Amino acid sequence: MTDLLSLTPDAARGALAAWLAARAEPGYRLAQILPRLWQRPVGSWEEATDLPAALRAQLGDAFPLTRLSCDAAQQSSDGTEKFLWKLADGEAVESVLIPEGKRRTLCISSQVGCALGCVFCATGRMGFRRNLSAGEIAGQVREAVRRDRAVKPTNVVFMGMGEPLLNWDAVDTALTILNHADGLGIGARHITVSTVGILPNLARLAQRPEQFRLAVSLHAPTAALRRELMPIEKKYSLPEVMRALGQFRRRVTLEYVLIGGKNDSLTQADELAQLARPVGALVNLLPLHPGGAPDLTPSDRPRMLAFARRLKRHGVEAVLRRSRGLDISAACGQLRVELEARRKVRAEEHARVE
Ligand code: SAH
Ligand code: SF4
């Protein structure tokens, strides 16, 4: 059995062509079957009714399709929609669809949980469960398209659960699927990989010829503070990560979650500007969502505005992101953690009754 959805479209074409040839099927079958992977995706081969029934059954045996079933969907009052996908082994990951004018950005997960334990992050608190396959990563877009073809995502960001550059092989293939004309056909400049900066794989991403965008999670302007917030700092330090950005021929975004009294002073804005300006980076300022360590609080609005203004005064372009989907816990890892907490409470209630 081959998971065609975890192969690049070229590799899937090769596997299918060989399989069809071995069955002496006519040449045009390939052109009938291939688009059903990504362009006009079927839920199962049975849905490909333009194929003979016997062939559909054989395809089902040889190439079962990886599905993600929607375990929960929530729509926020601001239009943000959140999906909790159940995987074949019972694990679950999240995607968030964020409409913004003509743009529809789907925020996807690359791992179940995350090993890196950033203190402000709900996924980090959950720990690492497993890597997603390429089919499960790109499959989040596929399933969103299957739910509603009219709202195909125009942009994809790897800002859901997990650290994409710690699952490089699958992310590498998923990037090809997302971008390839025989895949989902999303322009490379509309696909953003967000990472804390896993150096060896950052270099691999930089070497890809397509113009994929890079966002680096900084969250602190000094190594000492970053180490407090993000344990990965011990392995890949801030100065090294900043140096590595030179490998990218395109503009990089620095992500910075504003945490009250931690990393939001004007002096820290000055320090951040000193990092961002030489590399011409854009700074994305994110309001802190709940779900991480309980003692962390978001910066208040005037403080966020002052921080953004200060960066701009240094000639650094900064965007203060609105908090989207707060009412549906639409930050990384939150829906899954929330559902598990509810289930746990229910289980505890049961235990008390018994
Ligand atoms: N692991 C990767 C990608 C997933 S996290 C990374 O860390 O970059 C995507 C973004 O969500 C990161 O910038 C992360 O810092 C941010 N994030 C995590 N927890 C958050 C929270 N509680 N509030 C706001 N943003 C958060
Ligand atoms: Fe992992 Fe990113 Fe969350 Fe850090 S912020 S724990 S790297 S998912």
Q: What is the pLDDT of residue 150?
A: 81
The ligand 1 atom nearest the CA atom of 160:
4
pLDDT digits (tens, 9 = 90+) for 40-49: 999 999 999 9
Run of H or E including 317? none
Amino acid at 211: Q
348 labelled catalytic = no
Q: What is the pTM of this model?
A: 0.93
**Does residue 113 have its Cβ closer than 6 Å to ligand 1?**
no
Q: Where are the alpha helices (DSSP H) in 152-255?
A: 168-179, 199-207, 223-229, 238-244
Run of H or E including 302? helix 301-313
Regions of the chain with pLDDT less than 70: 324-354
81 labelled catalytic = no
The ligand 1 atom nearest the CA atom of 290:
22
What is the rounded CA–CA span in Å between residue 197 and residue 166?
A: 10
Q: What is the pLDDT of residue 83?
A: 93
The ligand 2 atom nearest the CA atom of 161:
8
- HSE-up of residue 256 (Cα within 13 Å, Cβ side): 32
Q: Check: CB of residue 198 under 8 Å from CB of residue 147.
A: no
Q: Residue 163 to residues 94, 112, 178, 351: CA-CA distances in angstroms?
A: 14, 10, 18, 36
- Structural domains of the chain ordered from first start: 4-62 (1.10.150), 67-208 (3.20.20.70), 218-323 (3.20.20.70)
Pocket test for ligand 1, best of 194, 219, 236 (most atoms within 8 A of CB): 194
| Nearest CA residue ID for atom 17, ligand 1 | 121
> CA-based angle 235:237:241, to the nearest 5?
115
Q: What is the pLDDT of residue 79?
A: 86
**Does residue 217 have its Cβ closer than 6 Å to ligand 1?**
yes
Residue 331 Cα to ligand 1 midpoint, Å, equals: 8
What is the rounded CA–CA span in Å between residue 2 and residue 152?
A: 27
Q: Residue 284's closest CA among 314, 316, 315?
A: 316
| Nearest CA residue ID for atom 8, ligand 2 | 162
